[in-house]
Structure 1
Amino acid sequence: MIHVPLLTLTLTAVAALRPFRAPQTQKDTVLGRRDLGAAAVAAVAALAPAAARAEPRDQWIAAQKEIDSILADWPIAGGGDGIRRRIGTVGTTSPLFDIEKTCPETLTDSFTAGRKLIPTADDPVAFAEALEEFASGIARVDGMAYSSNFAGGSGKPSENSATRYIERSKDELVALKKDVAKMNAALGQ
């Protein structure tokens, strides 16, 4: 089922790309590959990942389960990129994808506007502070996992190896659980 805003956006994109002169030949009256390509790009750009359309509390619960699942499934298949995919920094399928955008008080994103966690928290200030720490923790896990893809080759092999960076990313993920506990306490869970 095509949603009205998506259909409107697609038709607007196609209309904007059409010339403003009267058609002179049969070729000018038919939608070309460029028109269809532009419409497809506009349609894909307008779509939000499923996680972004979920209710904030549901996404938060799924994100917590994903963190537990990642730790239970360790070592993660795919190395550093596998870890990054699971924590939502590569791809859009993880419940952790853009989790920090689900929470703030002011958003301009039409998919999440009006559905936020901070205003519903028992202690919004504590939740916001824990959210900042959580986002920093995700960035640290991502950084270590990303570094594992390029480790080795120079420096001290025991410190500059893919295995060591993956171990560090797991340590950061375990530390992330403390931020999750703080966020849950602030939410009243």
Structure 2
Amino acid sequence: MLPKAVLATGNMPAVQGTVTTMDGSVKAAKTPEAAKKQIVAGYAALGSLLDDFDKISAESGGDGIRRLLGTVGTESPVYLIEPAFRLLFEADESLPMEYIESVEAVMQNLSEADSEAYSAIFIEFSSAKGKPADYFKKSKAAVVRAREQWLGLMKILAIT
């Protein structure tokens, strides 16, 4: 049995009682090979998220989406993805500056997807107008954009 210090329990209704352990945490990539592996896994994770977006948002709410985006918990391969992309840039002087610009665009879209999913959690209790579905739609569109840019980065890295 793990000590309680390494267990985390979600407190949102959609994840209440869900226990995760720190053992499954994604660690920052230390080598270019590890970074490439994480990038491929992250791309696949975003594809799975898009395939099941409606189901995930219905069953787990905004935190379910955010968990797969790597902003809730540490188990998604998207968690710590920016350092993985940057490690490859630092390791390969032949990569163009457009690479870093694309990394920043990916991160901006992931941040937007996270923000919209987060907003969906609270919109019903807010004085702002809208429905969770409106925010989930915006979140999904941002994930689509991030994944398209991510694929462009993988092509630059020749890991597609």
- Give the TM-score normalised by the residue count of structure 1: 0.62
Identity rate, percent: 31
Q: State how far apart, in whole Å, the 1-side matches of 2:138 and 2:149 are.
A: 17
More helix by share: 2
Q: 3-state SS of the aligned residue for 1:94?
A: coil
Matched, 1:154 2:127: yes
Q: Could you say which residue in structure 1 is the equivalent of 2:38?
A: 59
Is there any run of 5+ residues in structure 2 with no aligned partner, and where? 7-22
Q: Cα distance 1:64–1:165, how it changes in 2: closer, same or farther (>3 A)?
A: same
Contact (CA 8 Å) 2:102, 2:149: kept in 1 or not?
Answer: yes
Query: Given that residues 134 and 179 in structure 1 are in contact (C-alpha distance below 8 angstroms), is that contact kept between their aligned partners in structure 2?
Result: yes
Q: Please name the residue that 1:187 is paired with.
A: 157
> Is the contact made by 1:87 and 1:96 (CA closer than 8 Å) also made in structure 2?
yes
Aligned with 2:53: secondary structure? coil
Separation in 1, partners of 2:51, 2:116: 19
Matches within 5 A, 1:63-102: 63-75=42-54, 76=56, 77-102=59-84
Are 2:55 and 1:49 equivalent residues in the alignment? no
Normalising by structure 2, we get a TM-score of 0.72
Measured in 2, the distance between the counterparts of 1:93 and 1:133 equals: 23
Gaps of 5+ in 1: 1-39, 42-46, 105-115
Larger Rg: 1
Q: Which residue type is aligned with residue 122 of structure 2?
A: F
CA contact (8 A) 1:81 1:146 kept: yes
Question: Which among 96, 104, 117 is matched to residue 88 of structure 2?
Answer: 117
Deviates more, 1:121-130 or 1:83-92: 121-130
Mapped to 2, the partners of 1:124 and 1:58 lie a distance apart of: 21
Q: Identify the residue that residue 107 of structure 2 maps to in structure 1.
A: 135
CA offset at residue 53 of structure 1?
Answer: 4.7
Name the aligned partner's letter for residue 136 of structure 1: Q
Deviations 1:39-63 (CA, angstroms, capped at 9, x unpaired): x89xxxxx99334257100000000
Distance change >3 Å, CA 120–CA 49, structure 1 → 2: farther
1:117 Cα deviation (Å)?
A: 1.3
Greater relative contact order structure (CA < 8 Å, 6+ sep): 2
Runs of 4+ in 1 over 3 A off after TM superposition: 47-51
Alignment coverage as a number of residue pairs = 131
Q: Tell me which residue corresponds to 1:35.
A: none
